[in-house]
Amino acid sequence: MILVLNSLYARLVTRVGVVLVVSAAVLLFAVWWTTNFAARQAYDRILTSNALQIAENTWFQNGAVTVDVPITARTLLAPEDKTYYAVVDPNGRTIAGDIHFKPSIPWDALRDGPVLSDGVYDGHPIRIAIVGRRMPVEGPHSWAVIMVAQTTIARSSFARSLTADAFLVILVMGVLTLIAAMFTLHQALAPLKQIEEAIRKRDPLELSPLSLDVPVEIRTLVDTVNGFMRRLATHQAVTRRVIGDAAHQLRTPVTALLSRIELLSIQTDEAQKQAHLARLRVLTRELGQLVNQLINHAMVQQRAETTPFTTIDLAELVRTELAEALSNEPDRDLDVAVNAPDAACLVRGDPTTLREAVKNIIHNALRYGAPSLLQVDIVRKQRNWEVRFLDDGPGIPPADWDRVRRPFSSRSGGRSGASLGLAIVQEVMRTHRGKLRFALESDGRFMVVLIFRASA
C-alpha cells in the first residue's frame, strides 16, 4: 500500500485522513469544553458547600455577629490550591478570615442564593463563592456575608488531565482508523488493478469482452470497457472490409487501364489510337465512379456507429437533392414532381448519409429509368413517413430485388460499376432502423420506397 502522487488511492487516503483530522479536532474541542465544564461544576459545588457550612455556623448574639468556622469546611477544598475566606457583618466589618480579602459584594443578589464569580487575588486567578445570612439588624444591609475563594490550579489540572487522556485515546483510535481505512481502500481498489492487468496482458488485436468477477460498483466500468472494445472491433471490421473491398474491386479496372495504356503506347495507327483513347476515357470515368462509390460506402458504414442523429425535414432534403441532380442535366425533357404535406416531415437521422441515400436513388432513376417521368411522394402512414420514388422506366425485375441490396452483386443489362448505389441505401436505412422496399404500381410504374419512423 504505497501512496503514489496523483493516484486515486492517494487521493482517497488523503481525504479520509483530512476527515479524521477534522473529526479528531472537533471531538478534542468537545472533550476539552466538556471536561472544563464538568470540573468547573464539581469544584463550584465543593466551594459553595464550604461557604454554606460556614454560613450555618454564623449567628447573631448580644448585638454582634458571631462565627465559628468548622474545621471540616477547610478540609473539603483541594490541598494544592490556596484558599481564602472572610466573614463580613452587616456593617461591612471583617469578623473572621483574611481582612485584606474584600471582593465586591452583590448585595441585591444575596437573597437568591449563593453567588459565584471569578476574580484575581494575591496575583492568582480565583473562584469565589459568596453566601449571605440575614441578621436581625436595622440598616441598608441586613446580611452577614461569607466569602470563600480558591485558586483554580486543581480544576485546571483536572481538566487538562482528562483532555490529555482523551487526546491520547483519540490519537490512537485515529491512527488505527486510518490504517484500517488504508487497508480497506486498498482492498476496494484491487478490482481496478485486476482490470488493468487483464487489459495489459492482452494481445493488441484481442478485442473480446473482459470476463472478470468484480463488485457491482465496478461492473459498470467493465461493461463500459467491453462496450468500447465492441465498438472498436466493429470499426476494425469495417476498416478491414473496406480495404478488402477496395483491393478486390479496384484490381480489375486498374489492370484494364494499365493494359489499355500499354496498347496505346505501341499503337501506330491513328484510328486505333483514337479508339484506345476513347476506351481510356471510359475506363477512367468508370474508375472514378467506382472510387467514389467505395468512398461513399465506407463513409456510410463509418458514420453508422459514430454520428449522433438530428431532426431532419425529409421534404426539404428530397427537394434539395432532386434540384441538384437535375441541374446536371439541363437539356433533359423530364416531368418531375414532388408531392409532400405542407407541414414539415420530420425524422431523426444523419443528414449526410440520408442525402447520400436519396442521391443514389435519384441517380439510378435518371440513369437507368425515368425516360419522361420522375415523381416523389412523401406520405404519412400511421407512425411512419414513406418517401416513394416513382418513374416510368423498366425498373428492377422482382427476381433481382434481394440481389441489388447486396454490395458488389453482379449487374444486369451490361451495366458497369460496383453495384453499390442501392447497397448504400440499404445500409443507410438499416442504420436509421428504416426499410428499403421495391414495388410495381398497377399502371406498371416502378417504385422505390424509403420508410422512416416519424419524429415528434
* Same domain for 227 and 172: no
Q: Is the residue at 197 inside a domain?
A: no
Q: How many helices (H) and strands (E) does the chain have?
A: 9, 14
Q: Is the residue at 216 inside a domain?
A: yes
Are 85 and 54 contacting, i.e. CB atoms less than 8 angstroms apart? Answer: yes
* Same domain for 440 and 321: yes
Q: Is the alpha carbon torsion for 200, 205, 210, 211 positive or negative?
A: negative
pLDDT digits (tens, 9 = 90+) for 36-85: 888 888 888 888 888 888 888 888 887 788 888 877 665 556 677 888 88
pLDDT at 242: 65
CATH code assigned at 425: 3.30.565.10
Strand-pair category, 373-381 with 335-339: parallel
Are 57 and 218 contacting, i.e. CB atoms less than 8 angstroms apart? Answer: no
User: In this model, does residue 90 exceed pLDDT 70?
Assistant: yes
Residue 278's domain comprises 204-306
Cell numbers linked to 420: 453499390
DSSP 84: E
Q: Is the residue at 370 inside a domain?
A: yes
Q: Of 147, 163, 188, which residue is a domain's last? A: 188
Instruction: Determine the Cα–Cα distance for residues 413 and 402; give it in Å rounded to an integer.
Output: 17
Q: Is the residue at 194 inside a domain?
A: no
Output the pTM of the full model.
0.51
User: In this model, does residue 317 exceed pLDDT 90?
Assistant: yes
* Same domain for 405 and 384: yes
* Same domain for 214 and 164: no
Cell numbers linked to 450: 424509403
Q: Is the residue at 80 inside a domain?
A: yes
Band of pLDDT at residue 112, cut at 50, 70 and 90: confident
Average pLDDT in the 331-340 region? Answer: 86
pLDDT at 348: 93
Report CA-CA distances (Å) from 3 to 11, 116, 435: 9, 55, 57
* Same domain for 39 and 133: yes
Residue type at 309 in one-letter notation: F
**Percentage, residues of the chain above pLDDT 90:** 19
User: In this model, does residue 5 exceed pLDDT 60?
Assistant: no
pLDDT digits (tens, 9 = 90+) for 128-149: 999 988 888 877 778 889 999 9
* Same domain for 65 and 104: yes
* Same domain for 183 and 34: yes
pLDDT digits (tens, 9 = 90+) for 187-244: 888 888 888 788 888 877 777 778 777 777 778 888 888 888 887 777 777 677 767 7
* Same domain for 301 and 329: no
* Same domain for 33 and 80: yes
pLDDT digits (tens, 9 = 90+) for 346-388: 999 989 889 989 998 998 888 887 788 899 999 999 899 999 9
Instruction: Determine the Cα–Cα distance for residues 353 and 235; give it in Å rounded to an integer.
Output: 17
Instruction: Determine the Cα–Cα distance for residues 39 and 159; give it in Å rounded to an integer.
Output: 6
3-state secondary structure of 115: strand
Instruction: Determine the Cα–Cα distance for residues 456 and 230; give it in Å rounded to an integer.
Output: 31
Quickly count: other Cβ atoms within 10 Å of residue 216's Cβ. Answer: 6
Instruction: Determine the Cα–Cα distance for residues 132 and 130; give it in Å rounded to an integer.
Output: 7
Least confident of 300-304, 313-317, 339-343, 372-376: 300-304
User: In this model, does residue 1 exceed pLDDT 50?
Assistant: no
* Same domain for 231 and 154: no
* Same domain for 253 and 161: no
Are 267 and 215 contacting, i.e. CB atoms less than 8 angstroms apart? Answer: no
Instruction: Determine the Cα–Cα distance for residues 89 and 95; give it in Å rounded to an integer.
Output: 7
Instruction: Determine the Cα–Cα distance for residues 273 and 268; give it in Å rounded to an integer.
Output: 7
pLDDT digits (tens, 9 = 90+) for 435-455: 999 998 877 789 999 999 998
Q: Tell me what the pLDDT averaged over the chain comes to.
A: 83
Q: Of 269, 290, 306, which residue is a domain's last? A: 306
Strand residue runs (E) in 323-407: 335-339, 346-349, 373-381, 384-391
Q: Is the residue at 193 inside a domain?
A: no
* Same domain for 263 and 368: no
- Domain count of the chain? 3
3-state secondary structure of 288: helix
Q: Is the residue at 195 inside a domain?
A: no
Q: Of 248, 272, 306, which residue is a domain's last? A: 306
Q: Is the residue at 84 inside a domain?
A: yes
Q: How far apart are the first and last CA of the chain?
A: 56
Average pLDDT in the 296-304 region? Answer: 71
Instruction: Determine the Cα–Cα distance for residues 102 and 129; give it in Å rounded to an integer.
Output: 13
Instruction: Determine the Cα–Cα distance for residues 354 and 317; give it in Å rounded to an integer.
Output: 8
User: In this model, does residue 314 exceed pLDDT 60?
Assistant: yes
